Every structure is written in structure tokens, then in C-alpha cells.
Copies of this chain bind each other. A is one copy, B any other.
Amino acid sequence: MLYLIGLGLSHETDITVRGLETVKKCERVYLEAYTSILMAADLESLEKFYGKEVILADRELVESGADQILKDADKVDVAFLVVGDVFGATTHTDLVIRANELNIPFESIHNASVMNAVGACGLQLYQFGQTVSLVFFTETWKPDSFYLKIMENRKIGLHTLLLLDIKVKEQSIENMARGRLIYEPPRYMDIQTAAQQLLEIEELRGEKAYTPETPCVAISRLGSPTQKFKAATLKELAEYDAGEPLHSLVMLGRQVHDLELEYLYQFVDDKEKFMAFVEADQEHFKPPPYVPPEEDLSD
């Protein structure tokens, strides 16, 4: 049996009781370690907590070595551990499809991920539109597909969760070209960089998907003991130090409720000022006022 097991967001102990029981009975345990990281645990502490060896599965192993992971999984139990929830990345559905082809049964044991835990900032999950990803810009590569998606969400009044780039075990272009297996230190995009990149693209495109005054919520270390929220405008967040990774960002939509705002006020410097920014932002994408149909007086 193949078990896909979500690890949650931060601690070794964020695994579910059922997840832990399952890990303990598995013959081999893989940890997917390149789409996210646990903030308060590492390979060593996990191995200690589980009382068994954990095999680090990097992108190469997961994407090309699926058969190695699935070896004998029709006869023995194999666990594939994923930070957050199980189906956060397309590579994990690939693994299940491959297991199906090999007639290997599988079960998933779910856990929290940023996609639902983001509700902790006080914005209601059902008011979020599509999620977008921000990748590190380079001098020559500034992918901005997020821009249209944010625009689409905000046109219908929805909040947007922005996931920030994580670079783990990446090679420099030079090392890659020379075939040298030397990896760069991990990089985690911070709130400042994200806000700056967003502003850079808005400046280039100027279609006002958002403005420097658009209210956002900076989320740092969600689900960890040092979790923090900061509600401010995009321009303010471009200078905000959110501390240690991981960071994510939420951009507000026009439909924000009073109850959501009341919760956010915990995280603002100046309530009146923030409220004024929210009200000003609500003018963007405002639907035209309702005009009642003319009364039919013909009868």
C-alpha cells in the first residue's frame, strides 16, 4: 500500500495520530522536500520522532524515480510524506496515477495546508478566488501570469492568496551548464520582495489590477509558534520586515465583510487609516449602480 501523508505546517507533532501510526508501520518512508519545508522540524528531528529512517525525496527522485518509490508497494507499506496537505502539487497526483497503473492501492491521510490555514488571518475561505504563485524575478525573466489572475479575482470582489517562491536544491545556470552538482543555498521569497515585484508589474502594465494602496495581509510562519499577521497596503508591505520564512500574502477583494475587517484590525497600525484604504480600494471594479427597469405602463 502507498500512503500519502500530509505533515501539516510546522512541527513534527503536526502530523495526525493516524498519520503517525501509519508511518510507524511502513517499510520505507519518503519525505518530499522541495515544494515546501516544515518550519519547526527537519529530517533529523522527524527521524527521531518517528523512530525510523526517512529518505529525502528531491525533485529528481519524485519526478523520474516514481517506480523506485513505488517498488514492492503492492507487497509492503510505503509512506510518502508531504509538507502541508497531500495534493498540494501536481507531482503528487502523478505518483498516484503511476501507482494505479501498477495496481498499487493507495490511501491519503490529509492535513492542514496554507490553502485552508490561511483562514487564520480572519478572511473567510469561501471568499477567496484562484490562488496564484509568485516566482523570483531575474534581470531578464519576470513572469507575470499572476497579474491577470489577480485582476480576475478582484473584478468579482474576491481575495487572492499569493504563494511565494521557494527554491531548494537549485543549481546556478553556470553549474547546470557545466554539469556540476553544486546547489545554491535555499531561498524563500519574503513579503518585501513579493510586494516589490507586484508593484513593479503594476507599474509596467498599469491596468490597475491593484495599486500601491491596495490592502493586503502579510502572513509569516503560518501555523508555527511565531506566526504573525500584518494588514497594510502593498506599498507599506514593500518595506515591511516579516522575519524568518515562510511568508505568504493575501490581497483583499472588494467584497470584504465587516466581520472580516473587524478581525483584521488586530493586525493594523492605524485602524482609521486602514479602513480608508479599504474603502478607496473598493471603488476599483465597483459594479455600476443598480438601475431599476422602467415600469411597464402599457397595460
Interface membership of chain A positions 100-124, coded 1 if the CB is closer than 8 angstroms to chain B and 0 otherwise: 1000000011111101110110101
The answer to whether the Cβ of A188 comes within 8 Å of any Cβ in the partner chain is no
Which segment, of A53-61, A129-137, A168-176, faces chain B? A129-137
In the complex this chain forms, how many copies of it are found? Answer: 2
Chain B, residue nearest A257 (CB)? B90
Q: How far is the CA of A113 from the CA of B119 in the complex (A)?
A: 11
**For A14, what are the chain B residues with a Cβ–Cβ distance below 8 Å?**
16-18, 109-110
Are B88 and A119 in contact (CB-based, < 8 A)? yes
**For A88, what are the chain B residues with a Cβ–Cβ distance below 8 Å?**
119, 125
Are B15 and A259 in contact (CB-based, < 8 A)? no
Are A18 and B9 in contact (CB-based, < 8 A)? no
**For A87, what are the chain B residues with a Cβ–Cβ distance below 8 Å?**
116-117, 119-120, 122, 124-125
Are A85 and B132 in contact (CB-based, < 8 A)? no
**For A284, what are the chain B residues with a Cβ–Cβ distance below 8 Å?**
none
The answer to whether the Cβ of A195 comes within 8 Å of any Cβ in the partner chain is no
The answer to whether the Cβ of A71 comes within 8 Å of any Cβ in the partner chain is no
Are A112 and B116 in contact (CB-based, < 8 A)? yes
The answer to whether the Cβ of A11 comes within 8 Å of any Cβ in the partner chain is yes
Q: How far is the CA of A6 from the CA of B242 in the complex (A)?
A: 26
Interface membership of chain A positions 239-272, coded 1 if the CB is closer than 8 angstroms to chain B and 0 otherwise: 0000000000000000000011011001000000
Chain B, residue nearest A260 (CB)? B93
Chain B, residue nearest A12 (CB)? B17
Q: How far is the CB of A243 from chain B (nearest CB, A)?
A: 18
**For A215, what are the chain B residues with a Cβ–Cβ distance below 8 Å?**
none
Which of A16, A88, A97, A262 has most B Cβ within 10 Å?
A16
Within the complex, which residue of B17, B100, B111, B133 is in contact with A13, where a contact is CB–CB below 8 Å? B17
Number of interface residues of A (CB under 8 A): 56
**For A2, what are the chain B residues with a Cβ–Cβ distance below 8 Å?**
none
The answer to whether the Cβ of A86 comes within 8 Å of any Cβ in the partner chain is yes
Chain B, residue nearest A159 (CB)? B130
The answer to whether the Cβ of A26 comes within 8 Å of any Cβ in the partner chain is no
> Quick one: given A14-B16, A15-B17, A130-B129, are A115 and B115 in contact (CB under 8 Å)?
yes
The answer to whether the Cβ of A216 comes within 8 Å of any Cβ in the partner chain is no
The answer to whether the Cβ of A69 comes within 8 Å of any Cβ in the partner chain is no
Are B125 and A115 in contact (CB-based, < 8 A)? yes
**For A8, what are the chain B residues with a Cβ–Cβ distance below 8 Å?**
16, 110-111
> Quick one: given A13-B16, A16-B14, A96-B263, are A86 and B119 in contact (CB under 8 Å)?
yes
The answer to whether the Cβ of A127 comes within 8 Å of any Cβ in the partner chain is yes
Q: How far is the CA of A115 from the CA of B113 in the complex (A)?
A: 10
Q: List 14 A-B contacts (CB under 8 A).
A: A6-B112, A13-B16, A13-B17, A15-B16, A17-B20, A86-B120, A87-B124, A93-B122, A93-B259, A115-B125, A125-B131, A126-B133, A128-B130, A129-B158
Across the A-B interface, the 5 shortest Cβ-Cβ residue pairs = A87-B119, A110-B112, A13-B18, A126-B131, A13-B17
